[in-house]
Amino acid sequence: MNARPLLLTLLLAGMPLTATAEPMSEDHLREMRAGTVVHEFIQQEEAGGAVRAMFMFHERPAAIWEVLRAFERTFEFVPGMRLSEEIERSETRARVRQSVKQHWLLPRLDYVAEFQYTPFTTIEYEQVEGDLRLLEGRWQFDWRPEEQITLVTHEMRVRAKFPVPRWLLRRSLARDVTDLLHCLRAKAGGSGSTEQERYDLGYCPDL
């Protein structure tokens, strides 16, 4: 099972990200304990949408944190990534130049994003220059030592400079974000079992 084009997931949005993630419901927690990546739409306006995705990671936050900060590994779980290189880096921030070409109908997108880090708690990012009208997002990590798990929440919003049908956006949000996060969980060693890891790896892009 190959990851579908992530760019189709990221083409429209409008409202700013919420300041903090909403509490996870018991229904969401039950689904995540079963290995599911849970997603929900956090914008319902006609012009576009945005997504919050949540999953259970069977390791400490540092394991997934290190994969997300190793931008040379982005190719492993983001399909269509043509370039991903650091321009600047410190313990609390990074600037990264990336280039994505996901589909023959869509143009290649080049941009520079800035990442802000609060160690093992949050990663926030936004485009500072490039071809997108808007790119912003947040990773949040909630370590639960009593269960030895991390609850991971990822919100993201991207607006392109060209129109994309809302139905296409919503279909892609439901499908492509799920594929990405399954693959990322396996690459970071947090699937929790050999069977789940094989399942998660099935969502990774062909390199």
**40-89 per-position pLDDT tens digit:** 776 654 444 577 899 999 999 999 999 999 999 999 998 778 999 999 99
Q: Please tell me what DSSP assigns to residue 33.
A: H
Give domain status of residue 206, yes or no: no
Q: What is the pLDDT of residue 25?
A: 81
Q: How confident is the model at residue 9 (pLDDT cuts 50, 70, 90)?
A: very low
- pLDDT, one tens digit per residue, over 165-187 is 666 666 666 677 788 899 999 99
Q: What is the CA radius of gyration of the chain?
A: 16
Give domain status of residue 136, yes or no: yes
Q: Which residues face 125 on adjacent strands?
A: 115, 137
CATH number for 138: 3.30.530.20
Q: What is the pLDDT of residue 10?
A: 41
Give domain status of residue 1, yes or no: no
pTM over 0.85: no
Give domain status of residue 95, yes or no: yes
Query: Is 29 strand, coil or helix?
Result: helix
Give domain status of residue 207, yes or no: no
Task: From 96, 102, 99, 98, select the one nearest 117 (Cα to Cα).
Answer: 96
Give domain status of residue 126, yes or no: yes
Give domain status of residue 133, yes or no: yes
CA distances (Å), 24 to each of 38, 81, 154, 155, 166, in order? 10, 31, 13, 14, 26
CA distance 53 to 112: 24
Q: What is the pLDDT of residue 13?
A: 36
CA distance 186 to 35: 11
Domain count, the chain: 1
The residue ranges of DSSP E strands in 33-148, in sequence order, are 38-41, 51-57, 81-89, 93-100, 109-118, 122-130, 134-144
pLDDT score of 18 more than 80: no
The runs of H, that is alpha helices, within the chain are 26-33, 61-69, 166-187, 194-201
Token output for 116: 């802000």
CA distance 101 to 83: 10
What's the domain range around 116?
6-201
